[in-house]
A = this chain, B = another copy of it.
Amino acid sequence: MKVLILGGDGYIGWPTTMKLSAAGHEVLAVDNYMRRRLMREVDCEALLEVPNLDARARLWKERSGNDVAVRIGDLNDWSFISSVFEDFRPDAIIHYAEQPSAPYSMMDRTAARLTLDNNLGVTFNVIQAMAEYTPDAHLVKLGTMGEYGTPNIDIEEGWIDIEHKGRSGRFLFPRAAGSLYHTTKVLDTDLLWFYVRVWGLRVTDLMQGPVYGLSTDETGEDDQLFPFLNYDEIFGTVLNRFMVQAAAGYPLTVYGKGGQTRGYLHIKDALQCVQLAVENPVEKGELRVLNQFVETFSVNDLAERVRASGERLGLDVTVKSLPNPRKEMEDHYYNPVHTGLLDLGLQPNKLTDATMDEMMQLVLCYREQIVQERIFRGVAWKK
């Protein structure tokens, strides 16, 4: 299958590129290095230096024998994205090409506007390019579980049947996201659902939870093939951050009461899920929504797991509750359905002690490179 990966340089983009290439697909990875630019601008560069996308494609070719094509450019620019679609004519498109950080989107007006313009603009262009060049292709779009927020009812898989005053209907499950970044994913879903209805596109919208981990089947131990490991509050996901904090002897930064509960998954499972979605396309005119996570944890659960892993490895890990810079519930109901990907064949990798310790040991190899000032700065949701 010809698979176009938009945002192929990212934390999940690059591992996906290798995974689908290893699975025998013809892969073109596209990126504009926006995340690298933003990480540099806000002084939140990743723990390990990561070679550029062309360099990584060459390393991957040496290691696996597989060719991966690369194009660098801005997908929000129609002249670029249209040439990508016209030349490559993908069967499937994986769309990761978004500004991925919630705190970044709340930093200031300029960062918020960049997030809105980039994320909506690229999604719009992808829709238009599909309609123009590959109307039968299947779009696999990365959304987020954060689109739903933390409602007081069970979160269904994208859709909900509502009985109301003796009549019934099926609707998108109501969304209420917790940051502007997450809200742009809600807007993406609305936009995709509209064009699926009027133009009969094929779309899978993946509601992904926070991802953790660094090594995949394709990276092996080769740190030149690892994706970005961000440990800062802006681009780092919570478990990755806690691991690095523990390795650095920095108290784990729990926000508020720490009862915030989310659905998590290992990066290997994120890749499995995306591959399953790509290899099981939907019909024309269908928007399939899949809740993409393996198990739920509260922030306190994760802090305790990291503390225990540290103890097993001889580290003295402390936990520090900070005033919550975000606006979110710290103690809430959370029960999301997540059977769709299991039905497609997902074999979950749970967060075992062995996984924790393996990841912690990996991080400890690079502890000298941790810059403590990058860990926390308290980007506030309040205006």
Known: A109-B78, A116-B120, A174-B172. A333 touches B194 (CB 8 A): no
Interchain CB contact under 8 A, B176 and A197: yes
Interchain CB contact under 8 A, B174 and A174: yes
Is residue A377 contacting chain B, with contact meaning CB distance below 8 A?
no
Is residue A381 contacting chain B, with contact meaning CB distance below 8 A?
yes
Is residue A206 contacting chain B, with contact meaning CB distance below 8 A?
no
Is residue A168 contacting chain B, with contact meaning CB distance below 8 A?
yes
Interchain CB contact under 8 A, B190 and A186: yes
Those of A149-192 within 8 Å (CB) of chain B: 151-154, 160, 162-165, 167-169, 171-172, 174-177, 180, 183, 186-187, 190-191
Q: Which residues from B are CB-within-8-Å of A197? A: 176, 327
Interchain CB contact under 8 A, A382 and B199: yes
Interchain CB contact under 8 A, B190 and A327: no
Q: Which residues from B are CB-within-8-Å of A116? A: 120, 124
CA of A191 to CA of B169, assembled, Å: 25
Interchain CB contact under 8 A, B167 and A333: yes
Interchain CB contact under 8 A, B153 and A175: no
Is residue A128 contacting chain B, with contact meaning CB distance below 8 A?
yes
Q: What's the least CB distance linking A244 to chain B, in Å?
A: 28
Is residue A135 contacting chain B, with contact meaning CB distance below 8 A?
yes
Is residue A264 contacting chain B, with contact meaning CB distance below 8 A?
no
- Name A151's closest neighbour in chain B (CB-CB): B169
CA of A64 to CA of B193, assembled, Å: 48
Is residue A37 contacting chain B, with contact meaning CB distance below 8 A?
no
Interchain CB contact under 8 A, A171 and B169: no
Known: A167-B153, A168-B153, A198-B327. A383 touches B190 (CB 8 A): no
Interchain CB contact under 8 A, A162 and B162: yes
Interchain CB contact under 8 A, A128 and B109: yes
Pick the contact of A153 from B112, B162, B194, B381 — CB < 8 Å?
B162
Interchain CB contact under 8 A, A164 and B169: no
Q: What's the least CB distance linking A130 to chain B, in Å?
A: 10
CA of A275 to CA of B146, assembled, Å: 37
Interchain CB contact under 8 A, A383 and B135: yes
CA of A301 to CA of B271, assembled, Å: 55
Known: A113-B124, A162-B162, A174-B171. A180 touches B194 (CB 8 A): yes
CA of A177 to CA of B193, assembled, Å: 10
CA of A190 to CA of B382, assembled, Å: 18
CA of A131 to CA of B382, assembled, Å: 10
Those of A102-141 within 8 Å (CB) of chain B: 109, 112-113, 116-117, 120-121, 124, 128, 131-132, 135
CA of A121 to CA of B109, assembled, Å: 12
Pick the contact of A152 from B169, B174, B193, B382 — CB < 8 Å?
B169
Q: Which residues from B are CB-within-8-Å of A121? A: 117
Q: What's the least CB distance linking A207 to chain B, in Å?
A: 16
CA of A154 to CA of B165, assembled, Å: 7
Interchain CB contact under 8 A, A171 and B151: yes
Other A-B pairs, 11, CB within 8 Å; known A116-B124, A153-B168: A117-B117, A135-B383, A151-B169, A151-B171, A153-B164, A153-B165, A172-B174, A177-B194, A180-B194, A183-B194, A198-B382
- Provide a sorted-by-A list of 10 A–B residue pairs whose CB atoms are within 8 angstroms: A109-B128, A152-B169, A154-B164, A154-B165, A177-B194, A180-B194, A190-B190, A198-B381, A198-B382, A199-B383
